[in-house]
Structure 1
Amino acid sequence: MSWLEVVVTNRFGIEGANMKNRFNILYKPEDTWKHIKEKNFSIPQVYLRVLIVMALLPPFFAFIGAVYSGWKIGNEDPVKLTWESALSISIAAYLAILVGAYIFSRLIHWMAKTYGSDASLSDCFALVVYSCIPLFLVSVLSAYPVLWLDMLFTLVAVAFSVRLLFLGTPIMMGIGDEKAFFFSNSIITVGLVLVVAALAMSVLFWANGVGPVFTR
């Protein structure tokens, strides 16, 4: 048992430490959603066993790609960032993922009553985090950025995440398939709004001097 599992066991209970099959969601989604719903994992458990680790993947591999590989379009020289700039952006992105997932789940919990759901905030948080696992995993491609390849696999990961969301919503929210369909669409809409808001905030930071520093 790892030190993290020991901490989870002592602080949050043995069930949190036994979430070993976190990737079952990829190939047995419905069974995994039912398991998560039955176990009623708390927000700290989901953070410690899933999100804290998975959220490291996008900023870590993006850092490697931005500093060592660089983005290349056509025959142009690759565009790279200074490691200081890439590090600060990666840390900010990591914290944004950790905070953003909680805010997203809060918004889902706020909407839940509209669709006749009495799901807990923990259920909403688990729905957000586990639905995003394909997006976390596909980020490994950013270590060696190839624009067309990254876009292709990202679209596949988005489709996979949307499928997980549609399968998980009726189970985690405890509502019928028809209501879950409309609820899932509302969740996607809110997610898109949050993405646009994050991009707008990035532009504001860049406009005020807090942005990427290129090596060429």
Structure 2
Amino acid sequence: MLLSHAFGLFTHPDEEWASIRKEHETPRRLYVAYVLVLAAIAPVCAYISTAYFGWTVGNERLIKLTEISALQLSVLTYLAMLVGVFALGYAINWMARTYGAKEEHVPANGIALAAYSCTPLFLAGFALLYPVPWFNAIVFLVAVCYGAWLMYDGLPIVMGIEKERAVMYVGALLTVALVILVSTRVGSVILWNFGVGPVFISG
């Protein structure tokens, strides 16, 4: 089962990456059985916490989002995550030959590497049930660091490249990931100008 890889990547990542490489799952099945499920954690938790729990900044009063606003932002976040994983997977495949990756019959390894490397970020979404900004920032920072390490660890195994080239490869991919992140932020500002921004209420 694909979801079993989520736990294996935390306990024995090298063996898990080798197993992922052998599976050659199609991108469609990988998306339906893994990405669509785990990527929903953060938007669902964010909806619950922002619409029902609320948060405070300093000594200010409790702040919440309206249910409609929280739902809209959660759905947009979910879609952005799905597009981001696909874009990162496409970049992995596109750069593969540049860094000496071996040719594969099923070109799904890039998507698999992107999806499974994002596992810590997906699971960090549970932290949003405790809507304290500094706590969420720390949890997601740790998740990003571990996700980057997972990608570095998995590149030589999944893509069949030399360990020495993985440093440059993962550096290029992290740059792509940063561009994707900035693009989503810009997209958010544009959407807010069209009236799909947050609507706050006092708790």
Mark yes or no: TM-score above 0.5. yes
Q: Of the candidates 123, 126, 140, which is equivalent to residue 112 of structure 2?
A: 126
Q: Output the CA distance in 1 between the equivalents of 2:87 and 2:2.
A: 23
CA deviation profile, 1:89-129 (whole Å, cap 9, x unmatched): 11121122222211221122111121122355310001011
Q: Does 2:47 correspond to 1:47?
A: no
Amino acid at match of 1:77: R
Q: Output the CA distance in 2 between the equivalents of 1:63 and 1:174.
A: 40
Residue 2 of structure 2 is matched in structure 1 by: 19
CA deviation profile, 1:184-203 (whole Å, cap 9, x unmatched): 11111100110001001101
Alignment check: 8 A CA contact 1:37 1:123 kept? yes
Which has the larger displacement, 60-69 or 43-52?
Answer: 43-52
Q: Output the CA distance in 2 between the equivalents of 1:38 and 1:155.
A: 31
Amino acid at match of 1:51: V
> Identity percentage over the alignment?
38
Residue 211 of structure 1 is matched in structure 2 by: 197
Q: TM-score, normalised by structure 2?
A: 0.93
CA deviation profile, 1:1-31 (whole Å, cap 9, x unmatched): xxxxxxxxxxxxxxxxx33522211111110
Amino acid at match of 2:181: V
1:58 match: secondary structure: helix
Greater RCO, 1 or 2 (C-alpha within 8 Å, sep 6+): 2
Q: Superposed, which structure 2 residues align to 1:24-173 within 5 Å?
A: 24-117=8-101, 118=103, 121-173=107-159
Residue 191 of structure 1 is matched in structure 2 by: 177
Q: Output the CA distance in 2 between the equivalents of 1:97 and 1:149.
A: 21
Amino acid at match of 1:209: G
Return 5+ residue gaps in structure 1 as ranges: 1-17
Q: Of the candidates 170, 174, 192, which is equivalent to residue 160 of structure 2?
A: 174
Alignment check: 8 A CA contact 1:106 1:121 kept? no
Alignment check: 8 A CA contact 1:71 1:145 kept? yes
CA deviation profile, 1:113-152 (whole Å, cap 9, x unmatched): 2112235531000101101111111111111211221111
2:200 match: secondary structure: coil
Amino acid at match of 1:21: S
Matched length: 199
Q: After the TM superposition, which segments of 4 or more aligned residues of structure 1 sit over 6 Å from their partners?
A: none
Q: TM-score, normalised by structure 1?
A: 0.87
